[in-house]
Structure 1
């Protein structure tokens, strides 16, 4: 794999980001990759971009975006006022899957969490993503809690 660099996403990256989010079996049922992009993506990006505790990170090979992940830093009263980092929306370009990019992305997020003083990194993955669960476990994540969601 070529050298991968990481940076915070810009609004100009949204087209590539939404395409990657929609380019899998689950994402293509919940995302709307169309031109122009729905305004909801632009509003969400601007909210993320203005929040100092959220980083939308893109992985690039040269000038081409090949991955995306969102890292949210959250203070908690538990763990003596400790901070946690949550990884969400991890996607790699279909052309890059199986080449180690995902591992590089997660390791980058872990380093960001350490730099921010977080004591824990957490994530969820859809139970239908069996391969993703194994992937995260290989990187040291443990299924220590049962997660629940309520769609509103």
Structure 2
């Protein structure tokens, strides 16, 4: 039985391994690097910012980052940002990813958010179909500037 919970520092190696376990992540992530512990501490200290994990039989099989952003637009609405969605290769196609996203949406709703947003790499065409099946729509063009 899969359960969803907020990640702890003890989950960090498993989460980073998931982040690195895909074509794009392999080139961006460095499992074992101490920078992740520092980043997790900063993230955990920020209210409304968490790493949500899916745990099954003691193993971390999915993760995402959920951040509540308070703003002025949309009449002062809060929004939730989903990032870094990953599901273990052996669990892809089983509905786990859908359940993980639905859990994140429920948590965003519980936090008073009026909108959930995410970005996905243009090269992740399967992910685009996945998010669209969950009701997400590509309504904006996302842009990044690497520093």
The TM-score range, normalised by the shorter chain, is over 0.9
1:1-152 → structure 2 map (5 Å cutoff): 3-33=1-31, 37-152=32-147
Q: Structure 1 CA distance, aligned partners of 2:88 and 2:43? A: 22
- Stretches of 4+ aligned residues off by more than 4 angstroms: none
The alignment's TM-score, normalised by the length of structure 2, stands at 0.98
Structure 1 residue 140: Cα displacement? 0.1
SS at match of 1:119: strand
Deviations 1:62-117 (A, max 9, x none): 21110010000001101111100000000011110111100000000000000000
Q: Structure 1 CA distance, aligned partners of 2:69 and 2:138? A: 20
The alignment's TM-score, normalised by the length of structure 1, stands at 0.95
The two structures, once aligned, show a CA RMSD in angstroms of 0.7
Q: Which moved more, 1:37-46 or 1:121-130?
A: 37-46
Gapped regions of structure 2 (runs ≥ 5): none
